[in-house]
Chains A and B, each alone.
Chain A
Amino acid sequence: MTVSPRTRDIHHVDIGTARLIVAPGGAAAALPETGIGSTERRLDGDDKVTGRAAYAGEEMPPGTLHGVLVTSPVAKGRIVAIGTDAALAADGVVRVIVPDDMPALAAPSVPPVAQSFVPMSDTSIRYEGQPVAIVLAETLEQAEHGAALVDLRIEAETPTVFETAETVTPRTEGNGYILGALDPARGDAEAAMRDAAATVDAVYVAPTRHHNMMEPSATLAEWRGGALHMHDSTQWTYGVRYALSGLLSMEPGDIHVRCPFTGGGFGAKGYVWPHQILAPLAARLAGRPVKIALSRAQCYTGSGYQPVVRSRVALGADADGRLTAIRHDTENVTSTADDYVEFGNAGTRSLYPAPNLSLTTRIRRADVGTPTAMRAPHEGPGMFALESAMDELSYALDMDPLALRLANYAETDPANGKPFSSNRLRDAYAEGARRFGWDARPRRVRARREGPRLIGSGMASAIMSTFRFPASARVCLTRDGAIRVEAGAQEIGTGTRTIFPQIAAERLGIAADGIEMVLGRTDLPETGGTFGSSSTISVGSAVADAADALRARIEGLADGTLPPREAWPALLRENGTGELVGEGGFSLPGDAPFDAHGGAGEHSMHTWGAVFVEMAVDEALGLARMRRCVACYSAGRILNPVTARSQMIGGIIWGYGRAMLEKSAMDPRSARYLSKNLSGVHLPVNADIPQEIDVSFIEEHDPHASAIGVRGIGELGEVGVAAAIANAVYHATGRRVRDLPITFGDLVG
């Protein structure tokens, strides 16, 4: 990476970092100068602010054809005929690929393939926006024009949507989307509810939303002999390799996937979607490289979405506020092809220790595409419901909402009795409350007014599952004394190009700046995907292991002690050694390929947080604004307080979007999204967001979850925010909104 002269001097970012990491007792923790925990500036920042960072499809080999997908305008039916004459007659159109052109594919493995139905493999239409043909042309404009000339004859049928579909139990056999038991239960929740001093029972809806990542999915496929080379916008290069290896019956080693920078994904680019399958097939048929970049409109059906989650939550408590019973029934929309399950009650399993529990997890199959994970899956939509219900219970008990949470603090995981690997949620509650000034909050609703505005504050707990994957990494000392870190992992904005060098730097006792980070390629050591807040815990541990191995090899050449960095090149020369390589890895208990919240291990693993929000509501205008947010987290060791803070702020703003703006509305007659663009879909913009978002982390070192003290943070920031906002709106106005997003109509009058 080229670093310009001016920023070489900026090693650290100074943005109020002194209060970011909170030591026991509430004092600011001392931050190290270098290595893990230092405020190292983002090492790929220069590449990103200058436009040098190259995203998928931005480097085109000569002869590349532009591919544009022709998609179905109806959600259910059968292709009768596809007229291609007009398209083929248009300037620059080279070929139009239709289902008849498609080779037979092996059955997809789901995941990494996102959907078990591969579009164009037959003539069926199973969702609106499904690809039915591909136009290849010399220029983008010619391909777009050609796509508009393709004549589709479709026999359409009336589609089913979430509202009209039947509620059913998901398939568990052979279903890669089952992450846990569907219906855990203990005790007798119904009986306990009857005997409770206070109860609440309500339905909460978190609607379908899209990832809306800034970089539309794009892929460039090129065949070189029998080998396939992809420059793909993905969160999982190895996943693309395995998906295509299965479908095309190719050796994995013949498929090379690279993605040095991913322009956002939030889950949309985690698994493998039709364009990533169709581009290589089109390139093979055309005998030329093919680039397919989804249009923004195609992003709404070209990959997944977070499905609507409808939760019914009932809580029963004794007079002291201790929960005696919890009931949480969830259902989500999915496609007819795949039983994707959004575990809306995932957080409910481990947050509060009620002796009586009844959870159910259901789906509704509709004529829509398959949903997928989106920041934050499962706990994101589900905790809106549970933490809204807890707020309602606090008013039913006339108890402070924070005191109610503390009365139900779980010392061990209620789901399985295991001790937590590390849990500082109690400290996070205390620190968050202190920073927010929670004690000064009036108990009553509608108690605070400033001019035309009602002011309210609300809080919520956050909990997120810890996901882990095996990983490998390599740290090399080059002949000229440079250090290079290699891992297949991706950089999607989470700062992997900064924190992996920081880890290696600490283990080697050197500065992170100047370490070369190579990632995002399948010819590098294998890692899992960059999703599920799993990269740092998994790949970071492997990098640490690799750096330790390299350090041992250097020490081995130098009589058992680590010589100063300057002496390393001479050491190599003296020993006649070229590049010195340290290989490292991270594996899971029982050598599992993946685990959630600790898997088969002895400890339960989650991350935690306490979110406090102040809302101002003008009932005459139906206007609500977030004035400030304070959030404190227990998430393990924080490798870089600066990049970590940015991730949490991002997550909080995602939560704001969930609460106040975002809903991918669907026309129930056509099963078609009403808005498929960034002007009709409301997303947070800069002016929506207050400058005062106060993020902090409790100083913590988790000895069990990873080799470097960390758990994960990326998704945690989104959790709880929507509930805290809805609870603050209730406190301000006495209006309880259970159906997101909170809109004008909920507040006006």
Chain B
Amino acid sequence: MTTRPHDHPGEAMPATRFVLNGTDRAVTHEARVTLLDLLRERLGATGTKKGCAEGACGACTVLLDGERVNACMVLAAAVHGREVTTVEGLAAADGTLHAVQRAFVEQDALQCGYCTPGQVVSAVACIREGHAGSEVEIAEWMSGNLCRCAAYPQIVAAVQQAAAELGTPQGGASGAVQSTAPAARA
């Protein structure tokens, strides 16, 4: 029986080239490696956290071409030619925090900190998508990110504060989806 290229899960791929936080990267890796494990185990970019490896907790949220994705659900090979932003890529080069990062500190929207990078990256996208219009809308659109310390009300407050500072995007922004969140809760 002949094997085709990449049939074997451990077989090396040609290098995946992508932009990580503004820097060109080229990595040779096995076909089965996820973006999350590539970041954490190969590139030392451990700011992105591993909570479940099945897309259920959001701790590994990164921006892929500006849209939030769970890095555990993306094969590393799939980011070839694309742009990845992790929590390490949000602050300015001089260390000045992103408005969302600052808001999380100011609202005490974190405790143990393990879900926090994913929350922060998700919040950046949530605001850009135009899903930060109200407390209820923020809570709905931040519900892909679990926080077991349960800083949920403070997270909503932080997203609200950052959204006010950053301004609400106009319709048609990248990744924007019409809000289907209920207008009010029971």
Contact = CB atoms under 8 A, between A and B. Distances in A.
A53 B117 CA distance: 10
B185 A213 contact: no
Nearest to B157: A15
Interface string B15-51: 0000000000000001011000100110001111111
A49 B112 contact: no
Nearest to B57: A678
Contact of B114 (A264, A625, A649, A654): A264
Nearest to B185: A625
A105 to B, nearest CB: 30
Interface string B84-128: 001110110011110001101111101111111100100000000
B153 A4 contact: no
Contacts of B153: 649, 689-691, 693
B56 A492 contact: no
Given A141-B30, A492-B112, A677 B143 contact: no
Contact of B149 (A261, A264, A693): A264
Contacts of B139: 686-687, 689, 691
B50 A685 contact: no
Contacts, number: 221
A691 B135 contact: yes
A679 B53 CA distance: 11
Interface string A249-274: 00000000000011110100000000
Given A50-B88, A142-B10, A678-B146, A42 B108 contact: yes
Contacts of B33: 141
Highest count of chain B CB atoms <10 Å: which of A212, A263, A688 = A263
Contacts of A689: 139, 150, 152-153
Contacts of A296: 51-54
A623 B185 CA distance: 11
Contacts of B155: 686
Highest count of chain B CB atoms <10 Å: which of A623, A642, A691 = A691
B143 A687 contact: yes
B96 A4 contact: yes
Given A53-B113, A141-B32, A650-B111, A683 B148 contact: yes
Given A6-B97, A49-B120, A493-B113, A145 B47 contact: no
A41 B138 CA distance: 24
Nearest to B99: A6
Contacts of B30: 139, 141
A15 B105 CA distance: 12
B97 A616 contact: no
B96 A6 contact: yes
A102 interface: no
A45 B101 CA distance: 9
A575 interface: no
Contact of B41 (A42, A139, A686): A139
B59 A214 contact: yes
B150 A453 contact: no
Contacts of B113: 44, 47-49, 53, 261, 263, 493
B10 A145 contact: yes
A652 B86 CA distance: 31
A46 B146 contact: no
Contact of A493 (B41, B94, B112, B135): B112
B83 interface: no
Highest count of chain B CB atoms <10 Å: which of A625, A645, A646, A677 = A646
A643 interface: yes
Interface string A81-92: 000000000111
A494 B113 CA distance: 10
Contacts of A266: 148
A646 B117 CA distance: 18
B96 A212 contact: no
A336 B116 CA distance: 39
B110 A42 contact: yes
A383 interface: no
Nearest to A92: B10
Interface string A6-48: 1100100111000000000000000000000000011011111
A687 B96 contact: no
Contact of B56 (A42, A141, A616, A679): A679
B142 interface: yes
B163 interface: no
A4 B94 CA distance: 8
A679 B185 contact: no
B146 A685 contact: yes
B135 to A, nearest CB: 5
A215 interface: yes
A610 B31 CA distance: 55
A91 B31 CA distance: 14
A493 B90 CA distance: 23
A5 B94 contact: yes
Contacts of B88: 50-51
A49 B51 contact: no
Contact of B47 (A7, A42, A52): A52
Nearest to A45: B105
A55 B114 contact: yes
A216 B49 CA distance: 10
A691 B156 CA distance: 8
A295 interface: yes
B95 A51 contact: no
A370 B156 CA distance: 37
Highest count of chain B CB atoms <10 Å: which of A13, A214, A493 = A214
Highest count of chain A CB atoms <10 Å: which of B138, B147, B149 = B149
Nearest to B115: A214
Contacts of A66: 41
A49 B110 contact: yes
A706 interface: no
B9 interface: yes
Nearest to A58: B46
B76 to A, nearest CB: 11
A50 B101 contact: yes
B112 A215 contact: yes
A633 to B, nearest CB: 17
A686 B145 contact: yes
Interface in A636-651: 642-643, 645-647, 649-651
A214 B41 contact: no
Interface string A494-534: 11000000000000000000000000000000000000000
A416 interface: no
B143 A685 contact: yes
Nearest to A215: B114
Contacts of B108: 13, 15, 41-42, 45, 642-643, 645-646
A264 to B, nearest CB: 4
A677 B56 contact: yes
A650 B10 contact: no
B91 A4 contact: yes
Interface of B: 9-10, 30, 32-33, 37, 40-41, 45-57, 59, 86-88, 90-91, 94-97, 101-102, 104-108, 110-117, 120, 135, 138-140, 142-143, 145-157, 185-186
Given A48-B116, A264-B112, A689-B150, 15 more contacts: A5-B95, A48-B113, A50-B87, A91-B10, A145-B32, A211-B148, A214-B112, A214-B146, A263-B112, A493-B149, A653-B150, A683-B146, A684-B152, A687-B143, A691-B157
Interface of A: 2, 4-7, 10, 13-15, 41-42, 44-55, 58, 66, 90-92, 139-142, 145, 211-216, 261-264, 266, 293, 295-296, 453, 492-495, 616, 618, 623, 625, 627, 642-643, 645-647, 649-654, 677-679, 683-691, 693
A-B pairs with the 4 shortest C-beta distances? A51-B47, A493-B111, A263-B114, A48-B113
30 contacts: A5-B96, A7-B97, A10-B106, A42-B105, A42-B108, A42-B110, A45-B108, A46-B101, A47-B113, A48-B116, A49-B101, A49-B117, A50-B91, A51-B87, A51-B117, A55-B49, A66-B41, A139-B41, A141-B9, A214-B49, A215-B49, A261-B113, A262-B112, A296-B51, A493-B110, A646-B151, A650-B151, A683-B146, A686-B145, A690-B153
